[in-house]
Chains A and B, each alone.
Chain A
Amino acid sequence: MEEKVKSIIEKYGSDKSFIIPILQDIQREFNYLPREALDALSRNLGVPPSLIYHLATFYRAFSLNPKGKYRLNVCMGTACHVRGAPQIADYLERTLDLKAGETSKNLEYSLETVNCLGACALGPILVVNDEYHGQMTIAKTAKVLEGIGAKVEADE
C-alpha cells in the first residue's frame, strides 16, 4: 500500500497543494481511504494526519469506510424530490436495513444519496454502480434490488 501511495504522490510532484487530487486517486485505487494509506500519505507528503482527516471528513466524495460491491445512489435533487425520491430512499433503507451512508456488513451494498445528478428528466433516479435507472417507483426499485441479489419482501 505504501508503494502505491508513493507513486500517486510522485505523480503530483510531491506538491502539497495537490493533496485533494491525491486523496481522490487514493480513493479511486482502494474504493475508500484506508487508514494505512492515509498514514503513508502523511509520512510521505509531510502533512499532519489531522489535516488529512479534516479534508477526508469535510468533502463528501471521500469515505473512511470500505464501500460495498453494489453502490446504490439515490438522487435527492429538487426535481427528484418533488417526484418522490424520498419514498424510494425510504424503501431502500427499509429493505436493505441500512441508513443512507452505510454499507452492509457483508460488504455487498452501500446506500448513498447524492444532491443532484443533473439528469432531472429521469427523476427519481437510482444509480447502481454506474448504471442509471430512471423514473423509479417502489415496484421498479424492488426489481432492481432483486436483480442484484437483495432479499425483497412483499409480493405474494
Chain B
Amino acid sequence: MNKLESMKELASLQEKLRKARDPKKPCIVICAGTGCLAYGTQKLIDNFRAEIKKRNLQGKVDLRTSGCHGFCERGPLVVIHPKEIFYQRVKLDDAAVIIEKTVLNDEIIDRLVYKDPVSGEKILNEHDVPFYKKQTRLIFGQNGQIDPKSIDDYLAIGGYSALAKALGGMKPDGIIQEIIKANLRGRGGGGFPTGWKWDSTRKAKGEPKYVICNADEGDPGAYMDRSLLEGNPHVVLEGMIIGAYAIGSSNGYIYVRNEYPLAVSNITLALERAREYGIIGEDILGSGFSFDVKINRGGGAFVCGESSALFASIEGRVGEPRQKYVHATDRGLFDKPTCLNNVETWANVPLIINRGSDWFSSIGTANSKGTKIFSLVGRINNTGLVEVPMGITLREIVFGIGGGIPKGRKFKAIQTGGPSGGCIPEQMLDMRVDFDELTKVGSMMGSGGMIVMDDRSCMVDVAKYFLKFLEEESCGKCTPCREGVKQMRIILDRITEGKGEESDIELLEWIGSGIIDGSLCALGGTAPNPVLSTIKYFRDEYVAHIRDKKCPAGVCKPLITYSIIKDKCTGCTACARVCPTKAAYGEKKKVHTINKETCIKCGACYDACKFDAILIE
C-alpha cells in the first residue's frame, strides 16, 4: 500500500473509493457486532460467501460485514441494498433463499420482515423501523455503512476528511476553540468540557504529552464504546489524531478492556492500516506532524476506568487511584501532562471539525450538546444501542424507541449511570435526559447504560447487586470505600433475608453520606447512589422487606414462597420434570403441589410452566 504524502493524495483516494462504490449495485450488509455474532452470525456470513461463489456472483453482488447496527434484540440482522430491505431474526441457513429471492428477483421474504409490535404494520426499510426512525444516529449511523476491517470503506464515506481539514487549514488553538464552542462534554460520564481539558493539557508544562482513549468500559449493561471501537475504529483514531495535534502530543494510548476481544482486534488492525497509509505515524499526510498510538489491554479491574488508576495500570502497577489535587492535564501518565477522553468523546471530534461548532451546538439542551449513545437493556422489548439528541425524554427512549416492557408488564424504574448511578421512578419519565438533569434527580449520565426494570425487579435486590459489584471492584486503598461499601452491603443482605431492623434505612443513609464525603475517587464517591436513590424513590419496598418481611417483586429468596395456583395447573408435569429437588410433584393431568420444605426457590418451575400456574409471593 502506498503511503499518502499529502492531503491532496488523501482527497483523490477518497474520491476514487467513493466512485468505486456503485450505489445501485446489490450489497448484502450483515451485522457482525458482538451481539449478532453471539447469535451465530459467523455461520450466516460463511453461508452467504459460499452461496455467492456457488452462483458465480462475485463482482455482481457485494457482501459487507459491518459493525453493530444497534438493534441487538432482533439479530441476526441483514440489510440488502440498494433498496435497503431490512431483515431481522435471520436464520443461519437463510443465505440461499435471500440471494435467490430478494437479491436476484426483488422478492420480499415475508417472515424476515420486521413487524411493528405496536401497530402490527410490516416495515420494509431499515430507516422506517421506529427503533431507528426515532433516533439521531450521527455517530453510530456510520456503523452500517462500513466494514470496520476496511480503511477504504471508511475513506469512501469521507473518513479522515476532518483530519485533513484540521492539519491542512487549522491552527491547534483554533481547533481547541472549536471544541470549546461546540461545548462537547466527556461521554465517559463525568461530563467535563472536552475543549477545556485539551486547552489545559496544551498549556501544561512538561514533555512528552500524552493523549489516551479510555475504552475500559466496565459499567455492566453499557456497551456503546465497545460497539464503536468494534464497528468504526477509524472514527475514534481520527478524533485522537486531531486531539493530539491540537494538544501538541505525539504519543497516544488506547486502554481497552480485555473482555472485548473483537474490539481489540479491530482497533489493532485499524492502526496498522492507518500506519500503512501514512495517516498515523511520522509526518502524517506530509503535514510535519507525527503521532502514534499503543494499545493496552486491561486486566479486568473496573476501577481502571478511573483515570489515575488507568495511568497506574499502563505504567505496570496495580490500578489504584490517587488524590486529584494535581490534575491529570498537568501530571498524568508517567507524571506528564495527559488528556484522557472516552471512546465516544473522541468519536464526536471529527463530526465537530467537519460540520462546525455552530451546527453541533444547535443539537441538545443549554448545557449538554450533541447526541448520546445509550444502551437500552433489561426488561425492555427492543434491547439495543440507541443514539438520541440530548434533551429527549426518558419516556420517548423507553416507550418510543424501546417499545415498552415485554409481556405487557408494568414499568417500575430505569437505572442510569452504571453502578455509580441511580434508579429513576415512573413519575419522572418525562424528565429530559442530559448531564445536569440526571444529576439533579440523584442519578448520573455515566457512560450511558440504561437498565429498565419492571414489577418483577426488586429495588432492594438491585441496590444490593450494585453494592456487591462495587465491594468486589473497590481497589481497597481508602477506608470509606473499602469498609463502608462492605458494611452497607451487609445491611442490605440482612434486609433481603428478612432480618432488617427499622433503623437500617437511616443507618444506610448515614454510612452512604460518609462514603460520598470521604472517598478518594469517584468509585467510592458515587457508590452509595444506587442505595440512596432507591431509598428516596422506593422507600416502601425497603419497609416491606423490613417490617412485613415480604419482597413485593418476588425476588429475595428468604422472603418468598413458591406455590401452585390450582385453577391454572393442568397437570402437564413440566414443573415436576425440571425441579432439581423434586419439590414439585404430582400425577399426570392432576393438580401439582410444591413442597415448601424441599423447594430451593430456583425458579425452574416458573420458567417451565406454560400456564402461569406458579405463584411467587
Which A residues contact B (CB, under 8 angstroms)? Answer: 16-21, 23-24, 54-55, 58-62, 76-79, 81-84, 87, 90-91, 94-95, 114-123, 125, 132, 134, 137-139, 142, 153-156
**Residue contact B297 to A91, C-beta cutoff 8 Å:** no
9-residue interface stretch from B6-14, B32-40, B102-110, B356-364 = B32-40
Q: A137 to chain B: which residues have CB within 8 Å?
A: 604, 607-608
**Residue contact A117 to B580, C-beta cutoff 8 Å:** no
Given that A24-B299, A78-B449, A82-B453 are contacting pairs, would A18 and B316 also be in contact in the complex, using a CB cutoff of 8 Å?
yes
Chain A residue at minimal CB-CB distance from B319: A58
**Residue contact A120 to B318, C-beta cutoff 8 Å:** no
Q: Which residue, of A19, A54, A116, has the highest number of chain B Cβ atoms within 10 A?
A: A116
Interface residues of B, count at CB 8 A: 62
Given that A17-B315, A77-B220, A120-B383 are contacting pairs, would A139 and B299 also be in contact in the complex, using a CB cutoff of 8 Å?
no
**Residue contact B602 to A24, C-beta cutoff 8 Å:** no
B537: Cβ under 8 A from any A Cβ: no
Given that A59-B301, A77-B220 are contacting pairs, would A155 and B383 also be in contact in the complex, using a CB cutoff of 8 Å?
no
**Residue contact B604 to A91, C-beta cutoff 8 Å:** yes
The docked-state distance in angstroms from the alpha carbon of A120 to that of B221 is 7
Q: B375 to chain A: which residues have CB within 8 Å?
A: 118, 120
Q: B299 to chain A: which residues have CB within 8 Å?
A: 20, 23-24, 55, 58-62
Q: What is the minimal beta-carbon distance from A91 to any residue of chain B, in angstroms?
A: 6
The docked-state distance in angstroms from the alpha carbon of A128 to that of B208 is 44
B226: Cβ under 8 A from any A Cβ: yes
**Residue contact B222 to A116, C-beta cutoff 8 Å:** yes
Chain A residue at minimal CB-CB distance from B38: A132
Q: A120 to chain B: which residues have CB within 8 Å?
A: 35, 72, 221, 223, 375, 377-378, 383
**Residue contact A83 to B608, C-beta cutoff 8 Å:** no
Chain B residue at minimal CB-CB distance from A19: B316
Given that A24-B297, A117-B259 are contacting pairs, would A123 and B578 also be in contact in the complex, using a CB cutoff of 8 Å?
no
**Residue contact B301 to A118, C-beta cutoff 8 Å:** no
**Residue contact B377 to A123, C-beta cutoff 8 Å:** yes
Q: A76-B220, A81-B465, A120-B72 are in contact. List 19 more A-B contacts (CB 8 A).
A: A17-B315, A21-B297, A23-B299, A24-B297, A59-B319, A78-B415, A78-B449, A78-B465, A79-B451, A83-B379, A87-B602, A91-B580, A95-B580, A118-B260, A120-B35, A120-B221, A121-B72, A137-B607, A139-B608
Question: What 0/1 pattern do residues 294 to 324 of B give for CB contact below 8 A with A?
Answer: 0011111110000000000111111100000
B603: Cβ under 8 A from any A Cβ: yes
**Residue contact B300 to A82, C-beta cutoff 8 Å:** no
The docked-state distance in angstroms from the alpha carbon of A116 to that of B418 is 11
CB-CB contacts below 8 Å: B569-593 with A: 577-580
Q: B541 to chain A: which residues have CB within 8 Å?
A: none
Q: A123 to chain B: which residues have CB within 8 Å?
A: 377
B370: Cβ under 8 A from any A Cβ: no
Q: A156 to chain B: which residues have CB within 8 Å?
A: 577
**Residue contact B603 to A118, C-beta cutoff 8 Å:** no
Q: B383 to chain A: which residues have CB within 8 Å?
A: 79, 120-121
Q: Which residue, of B316, B319, B475, has the highest number of chain A Cβ atoms within 10 A?
A: B316
A-B contact pairs, 6 of them (CB 8 A): A59-B318, A78-B377, A78-B415, A115-B473, A118-B222, A121-B72
Given that A116-B221, A121-B72 are contacting pairs, would A20 and B260 also be in contact in the complex, using a CB cutoff of 8 Å?
no
Which residue in B34, B319, B469 is a CB contact (below 8 Å) of A115?
A: B469
B219: Cβ under 8 A from any A Cβ: yes
**Residue contact A60 to B39, C-beta cutoff 8 Å:** no
Q: B457 to chain A: which residues have CB within 8 Å?
A: 82
Given that A81-B465, A134-B39, A139-B578 are contacting pairs, would A60 and B300 also be in contact in the complex, using a CB cutoff of 8 Å?
yes
The docked-state distance in angstroms from the alpha carbon of A155 to that of B466 is 35
